[in-house]
């Protein structure tokens, strides 16, 4: 069994609902796709959504890394040699983690199809289905309630609210949101590095009665020393996102006293399923709870993250809403959304199709 052809292409996809976070406004995404065609019937699909502001990978760098000539090493390889191929992908594509992730997930997809099982089953299926959060950007309290009501109407039971521009307005919005949705809906927040140490402590005190599930990345990515000055109970509710790219960051975060209680793992930050599972291992062995996040992405990347999430017993949170907002995708399938939960499909590989 051999890979005989590598196809790559680029798609510029508009978002149905542009949004604002603490660092910028997002209206469209540049996605890159990889298809590995084998001499048997199966082919494997992967997708990249470079996170320039988080990892420094520009769309141009991702495109260059996925140039067909640069991926020529894949031709003639046996997809059953997954571990070795993923290591080569790390060596060849290490500085461009989204490009590496696209190749890594295409290799996993292809092996799953060759074996005739979902990827999660050869990784080791452990977790029960979990609800995914759906994200509300920074906007007025009235608009926040309106958007929340729409999402609850669509069956979602977990909301992630972007904060970090204005502490007083954040607290006011969240108070009104909790009052509006009641106690049974999970609410988590993401400051995208928008607060400083004092603001983080003050925010936590002001929202203590609102039963927030977690606080994602309150401080700047490099401010681990400051993060460690937060009270231990508060640190347990902090999810590291921009502070956690790859395995080395994971090791830094868990050095005692651990800087956060939760790892937000994203395939586009670390380079795919293989490194994500290494990070998950570091987290699990040191008592971190695992959250699986995403960028604005195709269903291909979301499915890959979902399969990895369900292979890890320490998975507690899903934030895999990145494909819902694409006005158009270049692939379909990957999961079924039911009552706000993402269900893995009983199909070989990642269960995604081109087109």
The residue from 190, 249, 296, 297 that contacts Mg ion (CB under 5 A) is: 190
Tell me: does residue 321 bind Mg ion (CB under 5 A): no
Minimum CB separation of residue 137 from Mg ion in Å reads: 12
Q: Between 231 and 260, how does the x/- string for binding to Mg ion read (CB under 5 A)?
A: ----------x-------------------
Rg of the chain, C-alpha, whole Å? 20
In whole angstroms, the minimum distance from the beta carbon of 230 to Mg ion comes to: 18
How many chain residues are in contact with Mg ion, going by CB under 5 A?
A: 3
User: Among the candidate windows 99-107, 209-217, 298-306, 341-349, which touches Mg ion by CB under 5 A?
Assistant: 209-217
Non-local (6+) Cβ contacts of 41 within 8 A are none
Reported as type and span, the H/E element at residue 189 is strand 186-190
Piece of 35-43, 59-67, 149-157, 213-221 that binds Mg ion (CB under 5 A): 213-221
Hey, which residues between 56 and 95 contact Mg ion (CB under 5 A)?
A: none
Alpha-carbon span 325 to 334, nearest angstrom: 16
Separation between Cα atoms, residue 37 and residue 24, nearest integer Å: 38
* Contact flags string 149-188 toward Mg ion, x per CB under 5 A: ----------------------------------------
Restricting to residues 137-156, which ones interact with Mg ion according to CB under 5 A? none
- Torsion angle (degrees, nearest 10) of CA 333, 304, 27, 130: 80
> DSSP string spanning 67-89?
-TTTTGGGTT--TT-HHHHHHHH
Q: φ and ψ at 95, to 5 degrees? A: -70, -10
Residue placing its CB nearer to Mg ion in the complex, 147 or 190: 190
Q: Which is nearer to Mg ion, 301 or 348 (CB)?
A: 301
Helices (H) and strands (E) in the chain, counts: 14, 15
Residue 237 is given by DSSP the state: T
CB 57 within 8 A of CB 50: yes
* Cα distance between residue 210 and residue 352, in whole Å: 39
- Which residue number, 180 or 199, has a Cβ lying nearer to Mg ion? 199
Taking the least distance from each CB to Mg ion, the nearer of 271 and 293 is 293
332 three-state secondary structure: strand
What is the rounded CA–CA span in Å between residue 152 and residue 168?
25
- Of 56 and 124, nearer to Mg ion (C-beta) is 56
Smallest distance from Mg ion to CB 273, Å: 20
Residue 133 has what DSSP assignment?
P
* Residue showing the smallest CB distance to Mg ion in the complex: 241
Binding site for Mg ion (CB under 5 A): 190, 216, 241
């Amino acid at each position: 069994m051999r890979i005989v052809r590598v196809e790559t292409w680029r798609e510029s996809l508009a978002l149905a609902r542009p949004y604002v976070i603490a660092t910028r406004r997002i209206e469209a995404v540049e996605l890159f796709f990889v298809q590995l065609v084998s001499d048997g019937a199966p082919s494997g699909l992967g997708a990249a959504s470079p996170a320039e502001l988080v990892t420094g990978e520009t769309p141009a760098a991702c495109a260059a890394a996925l140039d067909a000539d640069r991926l020529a090493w894949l031709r003639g390889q046996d997809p059953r040699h997954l571990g070795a191929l993923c290591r080569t992908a790390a060596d060849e594509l290490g500085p461009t983690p989204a490009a590496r992730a696209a190749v890594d997930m295409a290799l996993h997809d292809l092996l799953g199809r060759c074996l005739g099982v979902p990827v999660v089953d050869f990784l080791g299926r452990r977790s029960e289905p979990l609800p995914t959060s759906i994200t509300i950007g920074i906007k007025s309290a009235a608009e926040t309630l309106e958007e929340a009501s729409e999402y609850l109407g669509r069956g979602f039971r977990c909301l992630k609210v972007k904060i970090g521009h204005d502490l007083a307005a954040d607290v006011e919005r969240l108070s009104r949101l909790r009052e509006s949705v009641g106690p049974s809906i999970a609410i988590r927040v993401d400051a995208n590095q928008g607060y400083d140490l004092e603001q983080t402590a003050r925010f936590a005190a002001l929202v203590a009665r609102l039963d927030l599930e977690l606080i994602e990345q309150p401080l700047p990515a490099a401010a681990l020393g400051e993060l460690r000055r937060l009270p231990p109970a508060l640190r347990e509710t902090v999810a590291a996102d921009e502070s956690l790219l790859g395995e080395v960051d994971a090791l830094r975060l868990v050095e005692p006293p651990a800087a956060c209680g939760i790892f937000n793992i994203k395939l586009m930050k670390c380079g795919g399923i293989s490194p994500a599972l290494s990070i998950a291992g570091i987290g699990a062995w040191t008592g971190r709870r695992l959250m699986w996040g995403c960028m604005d992405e195709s269903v291909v990347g979301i499915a890959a993250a979902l399969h990895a999430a369900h292979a890890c017993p320490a998975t507690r949170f899903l934030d895999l809403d990145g494909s819902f907002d694409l006005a158009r995708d270049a692939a379909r399938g990957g999961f079924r959304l039911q009552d706000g939960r993402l269900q893995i499909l009983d199909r070989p590989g990642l269960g995604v199709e081109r087109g």
